[in-house]
Amino acid sequence: MKQSFETSKLYYGFPIFILGYQDQTYGYNVTTCSSSYSLGDWLVIGVGSEENAADQIKHYQKFTVNIPNESFMLEMEQAGFISHREKIAKLGLDFQSSKLTQAPILDACPVVLDCKVDRIIEEDGICHIFAKILDRLVESDLLDDRGHFKNDCFAPTYFMGDGHKRVYRYLDDRVDPMGSFIKKARKKDDKNGIT
């Protein structure tokens, strides 16, 4: 039986990423985020209006989404706990500046989206940033010999929790192709003579 759950928030599992952006004071900077969705070439992220990341992205209208794996947890957490300061040199992060957006592309993150802001809707202290993905960069060992993404080789970490407690969650190795369950069910129906 379900019951109404009173809580200030319920994050049901969002992949953690490091926002990379140019910074008017520090040249380049980073901020940890988890609020995003992507459909096709669109990406929408949620950034608190008070954060330095919001001001800098409003100014430059460009950013990168750097998606780390488990090996980057300490740096990821530090980039999410330090605010309004220089973080790239402080955390010892290696990066290259994107040719398209000049935003930092972090060496340690195997998957990176290079993005240009389309519009920002600011509501209740949150900037909802609608962006177009200009380029997708992935480490070559995440592509098979036909250039397709190796889904089973990439494991971002997930942010989950309620107002009481928030945690990091990790993916396991299980992978099922999309459509496989319907296919299996059809096969079973065929075997049982159900049409």
Ligand X SMILES: Cc1cc2nc3c(=O)[nH]c(=O)nc-3n(C[C@H](O)[C@H](O)[C@H](O)COP(=O)(O)O)c2cc1C
Amino acid at 125: G
Size of the site for ligand X (CB under 6 A): 19
**The tokens of 98 are what?**
């994107």
Work out which of 34, 64, 69, 98 binds ligand X, going by CB under 6 A. 34
Is residue 128 at the binding interface for ligand X, with CB under 6 A as the rule? no
Work out which of 15, 28, 33, 129 binds ligand X, going by CB under 6 A. 33
129 has which bridge partners?
45, 120
Q: Quote the radius of gyration of the chain (alpha carbons, Å).
A: 19
Is residue 159 at the binding interface for ligand X, with CB under 6 A as the rule? yes
Shortest CB 84 distance to ligand X, Å:
5
Is residue 116 at the binding interface for ligand X, with CB under 6 A as the rule? no
Amino acid at 160: M
Of 42 and 149, which CB lies nearer to ligand X in the complex structure?
42
Through-space distance between the first and last CA atoms of the chain, rounded to whole angstroms: 34
Residues 54-83 that bind ligand X (CB under 6 A): 77, 80-83
Cα–Cα distance between 37 and 45 in angstroms, integer? 7
158 touches 15 (CB < 8 A) = yes
Q: Which range of residues in 27-35, 99-107, 109-117, 129-137 is near ligand X by CB under 6 A?
A: 27-35
Is residue 22 at the binding interface for ligand X, with CB under 6 A as the rule? no
Is residue 131 at the binding interface for ligand X, with CB under 6 A as the rule? no
Cα–Cα distance between 78 and 94 in angstroms, integer? 15
Biggest alpha carbon–alpha carbon distance for the chain = 70
Q: Which range of residues in 29-37, 91-99, 112-120, 139-147 is near ligand X by CB under 6 A?
A: 29-37
168 touches 24 (CB < 8 A) = no
Site residues for ligand X per CB under 6 A: 16, 31-35, 46-48, 51-53, 77, 80-84, 159
